[in-house]
Chain A
């Protein structure tokens, strides 16, 4: 699923750039990400002098698992996820922190100039997007007076929270781009400046799993936004036909992905010094307005 999402993303971004994108492997190149993954797996592992291999391997596993852990608590197939508990929103900041720690450790397990600069940028970026992303995600939960993922899905059976919190949704998308290190926030691995940034020294199997981790992170982020703002797989007729739930969920995820790709396609990478300005000056103001509207609506008793 993660790899198919990568294919959809690559295909869409190619369409925006007047290219064709992956074409040859499988139907319209759908197997290309699988092929890339397998090819990297088969390559001979290069041990770089000075690399802390245990730390690198551990952090890569942690990185992949952090997104998987997050996905476990998202109601993907029915409106209650398998491992759900009453306050399972608490897991979200944990997974964000875990993946950031894993990335930092990966960058620092071999200290070359590029990885050091890249990791420095990564940490700064994490400090900036995390607060934004968590606040945007917290607002819907405040609206519903709950901390549970399944509750927030059930609440949205009438209408999605997007209708009440459009500004929050926009900020969440932008902060998600920063989390996924996609343009315009691809500073930690801006190839024109610092080669591949924190993952410069990785190749082969390790790189394959880093790529997989990135794809999983994207799926997790998109699924989270879909659940919180678009009501998960809730839609017409889901009460009578529960098998519609995952279908709706995937369709909604693809719509969110499309929005992300359009944002990416238009993006010019921000200069490092503009990061706080871009993310905070605009993001925080939008969030304050959003919170204000929300509390007024709540006071009046409309929601």
Chain B
């Protein structure tokens, strides 16, 4: 569970996709992802639309378009969430979607990227892409400040919120159209750290990819590698031992605590309550040192392996975890009680960024965002993976969408995670060996698999296609932030500039993937890539 091999795809003709999609949406209201796979032998691109209901059933609808005529009607009219997924496909594969609201804009790739290069097509080589990117970095810098010509009147101010902005942890751009202090429109532009992890993954073996996907996110790194592992294990028909399942669950929950606590602290920072930020982050250190104790690293844990975990955890360490978690729970409850009873803070977040459940579903929201409206959609419950089916826990829901409810959902989920960790330690079988005999898996037989997990930010979706080789044929990643971004931009309208940081970040945004450093040397008019060995030589601190 949590993973499945794609066997029953419903094939349709490209021109009837809108009809089929609208029919499917009545029973499967949540559009999970739009996956495109290029087949260079058959000279065609396959598009897989994955739908799900809120009880764990998945439906895949597939359609094929020829390589030389890449047009297709957009389903954004029936499922608004599709607009951003379709735009991603259209930029990376060059497929044109008729009627997509983003058509003609660049959302993911840099503005200077040439229009005729589509990076994820199989016949585009990675080395060539590096040259293309390097060439476009040397061009004149693009200045984004002016938005669309609709807002040329003097009464409005176009305020660039990002890409580098003190409120955002990662680069991301929203152009805010202000009338006085009120926001009239928001123009988003994401993908400032788009590094083409999906492309790189195709050029590496499955084992290397396990470490690559972990580096997509610096906060929820473990859940990425776990989801990838779930999909690959499905292709390999491997089942990890019980103890490994429990250990994975425990690490994932520790990571959820650390991610949520990080977010709650940052909420203080965004509302200008810096003391709260400092207090809460101090608590979080306890969890970070637990992760260090269990896996050997604080952030990129590299703890998982196909068919198990990479190292065993002794009983002694488990006892330390139990003790520290109890301490953490006590401190956390006390601090949160004090903070959430503080009137000015509650006033700042209550009733800000209102949205309703229907709207959230239409825009494809996932995770705490959708649970705050009262829909108990949690992959851990509806499609249990790991050890979640043997653990007794509640899905936390809120009473209506706004920043306050999202905060309360996250606060309560931390307590629920503490409960899960405690049960993991109690129920874990102690005498098993969770480490698989070999880490290397070699050639993987042909097949397609999808995996879904509940990352701290919401539903995480992976699609892996293997084609009898050491490398995957295609890895598709749909992160929860991409699903939530449309809702975030929509929530902003009508609120004031003071609310922007709180609303944008209420989805807990996280865009990051970086594989290597790109150095631009303006003086010598050259661009070169630094690989790890060179970095190691130049910088003695990296060993």
Indicate if B403 sits at the interface (CB-CB under 8 A).
no
Would B282 and A268 count as touching, CB distance under 8 A?
no
Would A268 and B348 count as touching, CB distance under 8 A?
yes
Interface centre among B157, B272, B342, B501 (most CB of A within 10 A): B272
Interface size on A, as a range, is 20 to 34
| Interface of chain A residues 242 through 267 with chain B (CB within 8 A) | 265-267
Query: Which listed segment binds B: A53-61, A86-94, A188-196, A209-217?
Result: A188-196
Query: Which listed segment binds B: A12-20, A147-155, A220-228, A284-292?
Result: A12-20
Q: Which residues of B contact A186 (CB under 8 A)?
A: 272
- Name the contact of A114 in the complex, choosing from B159, B269, B270 (C-beta under 8 A): B159
- Name the contact of B157 in the complex, choosing from A16, A117, A271 (C-beta under 8 A): A117
A10 to B416, CA, bound (A): 37
Q: Which residue of A lies closest to B501 (CB)?
A: A192
A269 to B166, CA, bound (A): 16
Indicate if B443 sits at the interface (CB-CB under 8 A).
no
- Name the contact of A17 in the complex, choosing from B158, B275, B344, B500 (C-beta under 8 A): B275
In the assembled complex, how far is the CB of residue A202 from the closest CB belonging to chain B, in whole angstroms? 16
For A16-31 the 0/1 string (1 means CB < 8 A from B) is 1111000000000000
Indicate if B111 sits at the interface (CB-CB under 8 A).
no
Would B344 and A184 count as touching, CB distance under 8 A?
yes
Indicate if A107 sits at the interface (CB-CB under 8 A).
no
Q: Which residues of A contact B145 (CB under 8 A)?
A: 113
| Interface of chain B residues 478 through 507 with chain A (CB within 8 A) | 496-501
Q: Which residues of B contact A265 (CB under 8 A)?
A: 275
Across the A-B interface, how many residue pairs have beta carbons closer than 8 Å? 76
Would A190 and B275 count as touching, CB distance under 8 A?
no
A194-B159 in contact given A113-B145, A271-B348, A272-B497 (Cβ < 8 Å):
yes
Would A273 and B181 count as touching, CB distance under 8 A?
yes
Interface centre among B159, B178, B279 (most CB of A within 10 A): B159
Would B275 and A193 count as touching, CB distance under 8 A?
no
Chain B interface, number of residues (Cβ within 8 angstroms): 31
Would A113 and B158 count as touching, CB distance under 8 A?
yes
Indicate if A116 sits at the interface (CB-CB under 8 A).
yes
For A171-204 the 0/1 string (1 means CB < 8 A from B) is 0000000000001101100111111000000000
A268-B342 in contact given A113-B145, A191-B167 (Cβ < 8 Å):
yes
- Name the contact of B269 in the complex, choosing from A192, A266, A267 (C-beta under 8 A): A192
A272 to B272, CA, bound (A): 12
Indicate if B241 sits at the interface (CB-CB under 8 A).
no
Indicate if B160 sits at the interface (CB-CB under 8 A).
yes
A268 to B167, CA, bound (A): 15
A187-B498 in contact given A192-B167, A268-B344 (Cβ < 8 Å):
yes
A246 to B178, CA, bound (A): 50
Indicate if A38 sits at the interface (CB-CB under 8 A).
no
A18-B279 in contact given A117-B497, A187-B498, A190-B498 (Cβ < 8 Å):
yes
Would A116 and B344 count as touching, CB distance under 8 A?
no
A193 to B159, CA, bound (A): 10
Q: Which residue of B lies closest to A14 (CB)?
A: B278
| Interface of chain B residues 315 through 370 with chain A (CB within 8 A) | 342, 344-345, 347-348
Q: Which residues of A contact B40 (CB under 8 A)?
A: none
Would A192 and B278 count as touching, CB distance under 8 A?
no
A18 to B500, CA, bound (A): 28
| Interface of chain A residues 105 through 138 with chain B (CB within 8 A) | 113-114, 116-117
A186 to B278, CA, bound (A): 18
Q: Which residue of B lies closest to A274 (CB)?
A: B347
- Name the contact of B496 in the complex, choosing from A17, A18, A269, A273 (C-beta under 8 A): A273
Indicate if A293 sits at the interface (CB-CB under 8 A).
no
A18 to B273, CA, bound (A): 14
Q: Which residues of B contact A266 (CB under 8 A)?
A: 275
Would B166 and A268 count as touching, CB distance under 8 A?
no
A247 to B468, CA, bound (A): 84
In the assembled complex, how far is the CB of residue A211 from the closest CB belonging to chain B, in whole angstroms? 17
Q: Which residue of A lies closest to B279 (CB)?
A: A18
Q: Which residues of B contact A116 (CB under 8 A)?
A: 157
Q: Which residue of A lies closest to B178 (CB)?
A: A117
Indicate if A142 sits at the interface (CB-CB under 8 A).
no
Would A16 and B497 count as touching, CB distance under 8 A?
no
A192 to B165, CA, bound (A): 7
A113 to B278, CA, bound (A): 30
Would A193 and B498 count as touching, CB distance under 8 A?
yes
Interface centre among A17, A190, A268, A269 (most CB of B within 10 A): A268
In the assembled complex, how far is the CB of residue B84 from the closest CB belonging to chain A, in whole angstroms? 25
Q: Which residues of A contact B44 (CB under 8 A)?
A: none
Q: Which residues of A contact B282 (CB under 8 A)?
A: 18
In the assembled complex, how far is the CB of residue B136 from the closest CB belonging to chain A, in whole angstroms? 24
- Name the contact of B344 in the complex, choosing from A19, A113, A114, A267 (C-beta under 8 A): A267
Would A271 and B498 count as touching, CB distance under 8 A?
yes
A269-B272 in contact given A18-B282, A113-B145, A191-B166 (Cβ < 8 Å):
yes
A271-B496 in contact given A113-B159, A113-B160 (Cβ < 8 Å):
yes
A187 to B501, CA, bound (A): 13
Q: Which residues of B contact A267 (CB under 8 A)?
A: 272-273, 344
For B394-416 the 0/1 string (1 means CB < 8 A from A) is 00000000000000000000000
In the assembled complex, how far is the CB of residue B151 from the closest CB belonging to chain A, in whole angstroms? 12
Q: Which residues of A contact B167 (CB under 8 A)?
A: 191-193
Indicate if B389 sits at the interface (CB-CB under 8 A).
no
A to B CB contacts below 8 Å, 9 in the list:
A16-B275, A17-B275, A187-B498, A192-B166, A192-B167, A193-B167, A268-B344, A268-B345, A271-B498
**B interface, CB within 8 angstroms of A:** 145, 157-160, 165-167, 178, 181, 269-275, 278-279, 282, 342, 344-345, 347-348, 496-501
Known: A116-B157, A192-B269; 8 extra A-B contacts, CB below 8 A, are: A16-B275, A190-B498, A192-B270, A192-B272, A267-B272, A267-B273, A268-B345, A272-B498
